[in-house]
Every structure is written in C-alpha cells, then in structure tokens.
Amino acid sequence: MTTALSHYVVGLMSGTSLDGIDAALVEIKNRDGEIGVTPIQFSTLAYTKDLKDLLLQLCDPEAASLKDLSNMNFLLRSEEHTSEIQSLRH
C-alpha cells in the first residue's frame, strides 16, 4: 500500500544585497520514504529606497541598537510589507 504525506511550506529570505524579500511556496511530499519538493509559486517584494537605507543603518554595529533591530522586525511584519507575500495563498 502506497502512503503519501503532503505539506505546503512558504520559505522567506532576504539576502545580503538587501534588494527585497523572496518568498517561495513549495509542496513537500513523502511517498513511502521518498521525499519530493515541487515549487508552486515564487514572488519577490522589493524594498523601497527608504527601507533599504534603514536596513543598511542596522548593519553598522556603531549606529544600530537592539531597540532599532526590534523595531525593524515589527516594521517588516507590517501589512504594507507582507501583502504580496500573503498573495501566494491565491
């Protein structure tokens, strides 16, 4: 008897170029111990110049604070910056 388990996963990444957030929706299947990954959709949300400038400031340990880093975490999760990533659902 063949057994198959399937999961959909979204991976997020922002590289060192600071050009934006990449999102990939993939299906991961386990069919009788054989794992397969199928890309479903890919999207890039480009950073605005202002946001990129803020991120670059955080790369300077002399200028950035823990508070700044924490605030950026919340900014990146805001509705404005996640709307395109959420569109992967459709």
- Mean pLDDT estimate for the chain: 82
Residue 12 has pLDDT above 90, yes or no: no
* Full DSSP string of 13-82: E--TT-SEEEEEEEEEEEETTEEEEEEEEEEEEEPPHHHHHHHHHHT-TTT--HHHHHHHHHHHTSHHHH
Q: Tell which wins on pLDDT, 65 or 27.
A: 27
In sequence order, the 6+-apart residues with CB closer than 8 A to the CB of 63 are 57
* Confidence category of residue 90, pLDDT binned at 50, 70, 90: very low
